[in-house]
């Protein structure tokens, strides 16, 4: 749902994955799953050619995979909560060039419980700050190029209540460059080719790519 006027838009969304329960008698197994995602956003502009955007998304996921009896100790119960926030500015810097700069924040907490082996329980907590910038240029009327940089720094914690010696804390430092070209076929459609490059891992620079076609 959203409301907009000539100056701004405000809205929200709610997604509910229908709770699933699956019983597999010949495996003595019961599986369950549900997920809910809720988000709100605010957009303003373009004021002086620039637009502003703020977004927040919350997600909750609950999953269980249970075996009765469980001689191999495979029963697991897990829950995850994620918070994501984003603030961004986007607008023209010349007749052919546009720039978007933004900053997002991610915080995720989760636990995985081994119901019949509590020494294997794990508690997760992860947070990241993620500033980014994207520059796109309409090189010719039928070709648009894009260059983007993405940074991420934060902390990843994995705590094992039943085995304190296995607890780990890792710092997150990542830097990537994304490149892309988009072929424009008038109002008929577009074909885009993109790739990502790891700046923080010189020994493994290629980080994957994609091809997207819209008609």
Phi, psi at residue 74, to the nearest 5°?
-95, -5
Report the range of poorest mean pLDDT among 37-41, 48-52, 194-198, 204-208: 48-52
Cβ neighbors of 76 (< 8 A, separation 6 or more) are: 63, 64, 65, 66, 112, 113, 114, 115
- Residue 117: the pLDDT is 86
**Residue 65: strand pairing partners:** 31, 76
Report the range of poorest mean pLDDT among 95-99, 138-142, 175-179, 199-203: 199-203
The three-class DSSP label of residue 119 is helix
Residue 7 has pLDDT above 90, yes or no: no
| CB of 68 closer than 8 Å to CB of 89 | no
- Residue 47: the pLDDT is 65
- Residue 172: the pLDDT is 93
State how far the alpha carbon of 134 is from the alpha carbons of 70, 95, 107, 127, 149, in Å: 51, 16, 23, 23, 7
192-203: average pLDDT: 92
Phi, psi at residue 20, to the nearest 5°?
-115, 135
- Residue 204: the pLDDT is 87
Residue 18 has pLDDT above 80, yes or no: yes
Q: What is the pLDDT of residues 85-105, one digit of tens each?
A: 999 999 999 999 999 999 999
Residue 54 has pLDDT above 70, yes or no: yes
- Residue 118: the pLDDT is 87
- Tokens encoding 91: 């607008």
CA 167/CA 18 separation, integer angstroms = 35
Whole-model pTM over 0.85? no
| CB of 115 closer than 8 Å to CB of 140 | no
- Residue 48: the pLDDT is 67
């Amino acid at each position: 749902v959203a409301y907009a006027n000539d100056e701004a838009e405000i809205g929200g969304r709610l997604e509910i994955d229908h709770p699933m329960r699956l019983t597999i008698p010949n495996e003595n197994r019961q599986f369950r799953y549900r997920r809910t995602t809720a988000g709100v956003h605010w957009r303003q502009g373009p004021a002086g050619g620039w637009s502003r955007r703020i977004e927040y998304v919350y997600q909750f996921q609950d999953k269980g995979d249970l075996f009765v009896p469980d001689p191999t100790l495979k029963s697991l119960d897990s829950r995850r909560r994620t918070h994501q926030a984003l603030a961004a500015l986007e607008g023209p810097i010349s007749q052919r060039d546009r720039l978007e700069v933004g900053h997002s924040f991610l915080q995720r907490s989760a636990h995985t419980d081994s119901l019949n082996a509590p020494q294997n329980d794990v508690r997760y907590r992860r947070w990241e700050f993620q500033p980014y910038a994207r520059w796109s240029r309409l090189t010719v009327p039928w070709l648009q190029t894009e260059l983007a940089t993405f940074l991420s720094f934060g902390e990843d914690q994995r705590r094992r209540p039943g085995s304190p010696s296995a607890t780990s804390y890792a710092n997150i430092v990542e830097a990537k460059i994304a490149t892309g070209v988009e072929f424009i076929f008038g109002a008929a459609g577009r074909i885009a080719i993109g790739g990502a490059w790891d700046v923080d891992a010189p020994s493994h620079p290629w980080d994957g790519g994609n091809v997207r076609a819209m008609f």
